[in-house]
Amino acid sequence: MNEKIFQRLYWEQVKNLTIANMKSRYRKTFAGFLWVVMSPILIYGVQSLVFKHFLKIDIQNYSLFLLGGLLPWIFITQSIDMCTPLFLTNRDLLLGFKINPLVILLSQILDNFFNFLFAFMLLLIPFWIILGDNIGGLPYLFFALVNLILGLIGVAWLLSILQVFYRDTRFVLPFITNVALFLTPIFYPPEFVPENLRPIIEANPLYLLIVPVRTCIYSFTSDLFLKQILVGSLVTVTTLSLAYFYWRKKRNEFYIHL
């Protein structure tokens, strides 16, 4: 019974903190929610224009192809950037109250996810209306998004713990993610990469979480999706396991280093 009460309280804390994060982000702003949502949409629009019309990347329905890669990438990298220093910035809260650090992490990721999902669907719906039956993977999109957010939780959890013990983590990560964007098939297909380099490029765990989402809305086949979601699930299980066991190892020292 006590365990059930604890679990209910835990998720109640996550829900309340997520709502509080969303309110504080938009407080005292003019159309604050629109600014947050429009940012990835504008980045997507500019990159779609540049790569399709200026650099002449010749891919059928390129705007849809880019949508399936770029917006999930922005969601992941923004969440990593915001979550990595999260435990340190909430040091007083963690030391002053009995609150699980994971509650703070989950609430931040959920806040980012709702913003991402709104922008993603806002762009996807017009494509769905125009292309109709050509987007046959839409019923599978739920599973791809669940795997994406769970994998991200594992990555962000691990990095936020590392930041407590190694304070340079947050400064190294933006450099890595900026370089990785160009070394990962986000705005170009894997076929553009020399065959001998594809295993290295496609080994990026963030890409393996994103590619099932792209497949659901672009060139969907059930066999391909099944293969990709299995690989993505393996990445998710691995990242969550690494984060959990690292937390178990370091939790006695965690509050001392805050």
**What are the pLDDT tens digits along the chain (258 aa)?**
344 544 555 778 787 788 777 767 666 555 566 666 778 888 888 888 888 777 778 888 888 899 999 999 999 999 999 999 999 999 998 988 888 899 999 999 999 999 899 999 988 888 777 766 556 788 899 999 999 999 999 999 999 999 999 999 999 999 999 988 888 899 998 888 888 888 888 788 999 999 999 999 998 899 999 999 999 999 999 999 999 999 999 998 999 998
Give, as one character, the DSSP assignment of residue 139.
G
Q: What is the pLDDT of residue 27?
A: 61
Q: What span, in angstroms and rounded, lies between the C-alpha atoms of 111 and 117? A: 10
pLDDT at residue number 126: 85
Q: Write down the pTM of the prediction.
A: 0.90
Q: For residue 17, how many C-alpha atoms fall within 13 Å in the half-sphere facing its CB?
A: 20
* pLDDT value at residue 206: 94
Q: What Cα–Cα distance (Å) separates residue 253 from each residue in 94, 109, 196?
A: 14, 25, 44
Per-residue confidence (pLDDT) for residue 134, from 0 to 100: 59
pLDDT of residue 133: 55
